[in-house]
C-alpha cells in the first residue's frame, strides 16, 4: 500500500487549493466523493466566482477566536490570489471576481496545479480514518490508503453525505474532536406568517433590520425576494448569517428607504381624496401585491399606512434548511486546533475550510477563508508555523 505524505479528504475549494500550494514538495493524494473536484467552487458567486473581498478582516467572520481568524485570513485580500494566473476586478461592494467572471476558470486553474502535484481520486469516499504507527490509515469505498498526515477539507453540511455517517464531522469526531451546533447560513429564511405566501414572486429593494427577542442584531440594504413561505434575496442572505442560530427573530423591512414617511402619507392622502380603493392606496408607489399586504395590516389612515411601509415586520421560523444554504455555521471548535490548524488531540491531523467553526458574511469571505486556511495548513505541512 502506497504511503503518502499527505492525504487530503475533500477536493473542494480548500482541498484543491492546498494540493496546488504543496507544489510537489510532499507526496499528496486528494480524495473526493463527487464525480468532479471543485464542483461547488464552480457554482460560486452565481457562476462568476466571488473569491474574496477587499474588506476582508476578522470582523467579517462569525467565530469563537477572532485572533486566530485574523492570523489566518489576514486583511489583505490579494493574499489568496497567488495560485490563480489571471486578472481580478472588484465591484462597488468590494466583491472580487476573476475579470472573466467565470468561477469554473478558478476550478480549472486549481485542478491543473493540483493534478501536477498530487494524485486525484474522484468518486471515492473516505469512510473512516484511524491512527496508525506511522500516521493514518484511511478506509475508502475503493480500498485503503496510508498517509503520514491527514487533512480534512470536507466542507459543511452536505445533504448528499449527511445520512451516510461519513461527513467530515463524523471523521473528526471518530478521532476525538467535537462539533458545535450546526446551522445553515447565507440562505433563505422561513416566514411564520403563512398569509405572506401571497407575496410569492415579489422582488423589491429595501432596508432590512433583524431583531432577536426584541434586541437589534443587524441591518443591511439590498434585494428582497418573497417565495413560497420564505424570503430570500441578497439582503436576506446577508442577514441570515446573523440570525439562523438565534431565537424569536423578526425582520423589519423598510420599503422605500429613500422616501420619507411624510411623502408616503401625502401620496396616500391624495389617492384617498381621489376615491382610490383602500387596497390600491400604495399602487405605483409599491409593488401592487406588496402595497395590498401593507394596507391590509393597517386599520387607520395615511400616517399609519406610511409608518407600516417603513416598519413592515415579519416573524422568522428559522432557516429554510441546509438544502440551498451557501455555508454551514458551526463546525470543529477553533479551541481544538493550533495556530497551524493542526488538531490539538491528534498529531498530523489538520483542518481547512468550512469544516471549522468559522463562517463569513456573504460577499467572498467564505472562499477567502477556505483558501487562506488551506494556505496555513500548507505552511504547517511544509515546515512553517505550527
Ligand X SMILES: Cc1cc2nc3c(=O)[nH]c(=O)nc-3n(C[C@H](O)[C@H](O)[C@H](O)COP(=O)(O)OP(=O)(O)OC[C@H]3O[C@@H](n4cnc5c(N)ncnc54)[C@H](O)[C@@H]3O)c2cc1C
User: Which stretches of the chain bind ligand X, using CB under 6 A?
Assistant: 9-15, 31-34, 40-41, 43-45, 50, 125-126, 153-155, 158, 161, 166-168, 326-327, 353-354, 364-367, 370
- Please state the closest distance from residue 358 (CB atom) to ligand X, in A: 10
Nearer to ligand X, 174 or 288 (CB): 174
Tell me the C-alpha distance between 170 and 179, whole Å.
9
Nearer to ligand X, 43 or 259 (CB): 43
Nearer to ligand X, 44 or 240 (CB): 44
Partners of 143 in the β-ladder: 140, 141
Cell numbers linked to 324: 440551498
Q: What are phi and psi of 18, to 5 degrees?
A: -60, -45
Nearer to ligand X, 255 or 365 (CB): 365
Q: 3-state class of 62 per DSSP?
A: strand
Nearer to ligand X, 184 or 291 (CB): 184
Torsion over CA: 160, 63, 318, 173 (sign) = positive
Tell me the C-alpha distance between 66 and 228, whole Å.
37
- Please state the closest distance from residue 9 (CB atom) to ligand X, in A: 5
Name the DSSP class of 80.
G
Whether the Cβ atoms of residue 370 and residue 12 lie closer than 8 Å to each other: yes
- Please state the closest distance from residue 257 (CB atom) to ligand X, in A: 25
Task: Give burial (CB, 10 Å; 0-12/13-18/19+) of 260.
Answer: exposed
Nearer to ligand X, 167 or 343 (CB): 167
- Please state the closest distance from residue 51 (CB atom) to ligand X, in A: 6
Please report, for residues 96, 124, 144, 321, 340, the alpha-carbon distance to residue 31 in angstroms, rounded to integers and kept in the order given: 29, 6, 11, 27, 22
Q: What are phi and psi of 248, to 5 degrees?
A: 50, 55
What is the total residue count of the chain?
Answer: 386
- Please state the closest distance from residue 155 (CB atom) to ligand X, in A: 3
Query: What is the maximum alpha-carbon separation in the chain?
Result: 86
- Please state the closest distance from residue 43 (CB atom) to ligand X, in A: 5
- Please state the closest distance from residue 301 (CB atom) to ligand X, in A: 45
Nearer to ligand X, 10 or 135 (CB): 10
* Residue burial 237-252, b: 16+ Cβ < 10 Å; e: rest: bbbbbbbbbbeebbbb
Nearer to ligand X, 232 or 291 (CB): 232
Task: For 269-317, give the secondary structure using H, E and C.
Answer: HHHHHCCCCHHHCCCCCCCHHHHHHHHHCCCCCHHHHHHHHHCEEEEEE
- Please state the closest distance from residue 14 (CB atom) to ligand X, in A: 3
Nearer to ligand X, 19 or 268 (CB): 19
What residue is closest to ligand X based on CB?
12
- Please state the closest distance from residue 365 (CB atom) to ligand X, in A: 6
Amino acid at each position: 500500500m502506497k504511503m503518502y505524505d499527505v492525504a487530503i479528504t475533500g477536493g473542494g475549494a480548500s482541498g484543491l487549493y492546498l494540493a496546488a500550494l504543496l507544489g510537489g514538495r510532499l507526496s499528496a493524494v486528494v480524495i473526493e466523493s463527487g464525480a468532479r473536484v471543485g464542483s461547488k467552487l464552480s457554482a460560486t458567486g452565481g457562476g462568476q466566482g466571488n473569491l474574496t473581498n477587499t474588506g476582508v478582516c476578522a470582523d467579517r467572520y462569525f467565530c469563537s477566536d477572532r485572533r486566530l481568524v485574523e492570523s489566518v485570513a489576514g486583511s489583505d485580500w490579494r493574499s489568496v490570489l497567488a495560485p490563480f494566473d489571471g486578472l481580478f476586478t472588484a465591484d462597488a461592494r468590494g466583491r472580487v471576481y476573476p475579470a472573466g467572471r467565470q468561477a469554473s476558470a478558478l476550478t480549472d486553474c486549481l485542478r491543473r496545479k493540483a493534478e501536477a502535484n498530487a494524485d486525484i481520486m474522484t468518486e471515492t469516499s473516505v469512510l473512516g480514518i484511524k491512527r496508525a504507527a506511522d500516521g493514518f490509515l484511511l478506509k475508502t469505498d475503493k480500498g485503503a490508503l496510508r498517509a503520514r498526515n491527514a487533512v480534512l477539507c470536507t466542507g459543511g453540511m452536505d445533504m448528499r453525505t449527511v445520512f451516510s455517517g461519513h461527513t467530515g464531522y463524523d471523521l473528526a469526531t471518530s478521532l476525538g474532536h467535537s462539533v458545535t451546533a450546526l446551522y445553515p447560513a447565507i440562505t433563505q429564511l422561513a416566514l411564520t406568517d403563512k398569509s405572506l405566501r401571497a407575496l410569492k414572486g415579489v422582488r423589491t429593494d429595501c432596508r432590512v433590520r433583524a431583531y432577536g427577542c426584541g434586541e437589534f442584531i443587524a441591518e443591511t440594504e439590498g434585494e428582497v425576494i418573497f417565495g413560497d413561505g420564505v424570503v430570500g434575496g441578497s439582503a436576506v442572505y446577508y442577514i441570515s448569517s446573523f440570525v439562523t442560530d438565534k431565537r424569536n427573530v423578526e425582520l423589519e423591512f423598510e420599503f422605500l428607504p429613500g422616501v420619507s414617511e411624510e411623502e408616503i402619507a401625502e401620496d396616500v392622502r391624495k389617492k384617498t381624496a381621489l376615491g382610490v380603493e383602500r387596497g390600491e392606496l400604495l399602487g405605483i408607489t409599491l409593488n401592487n401585491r406588496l402595497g395590498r399586504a401593507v394596507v391590509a395590516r393597517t386599520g387607520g389612515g395615511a400616517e399609519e399606512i406610511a409608518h407600516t411601509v417603513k416598519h413592515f415586520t415579519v416573524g422568522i421560523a428559522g432557516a429554510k434548511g441546509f438544502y440551498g444554504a451557501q455555508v454551514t455555521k458551526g463546525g470543529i471548535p477553533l479551541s481544538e486546533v493550533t495556530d497551524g490548524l493542526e488538531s490539538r488531540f491528534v498529531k498530523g491531523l489538520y483542518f481547512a475550510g468550512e469544516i471549522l467553526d468559522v463562517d463569513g458574511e456573504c460577499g467572498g469571505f467564505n472562499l477567502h477563508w477556505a483558501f487562506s486556511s488551506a494556505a496555513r495548513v500548507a505552511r504547517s505541512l511544509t515546515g512553517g508555523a505550527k
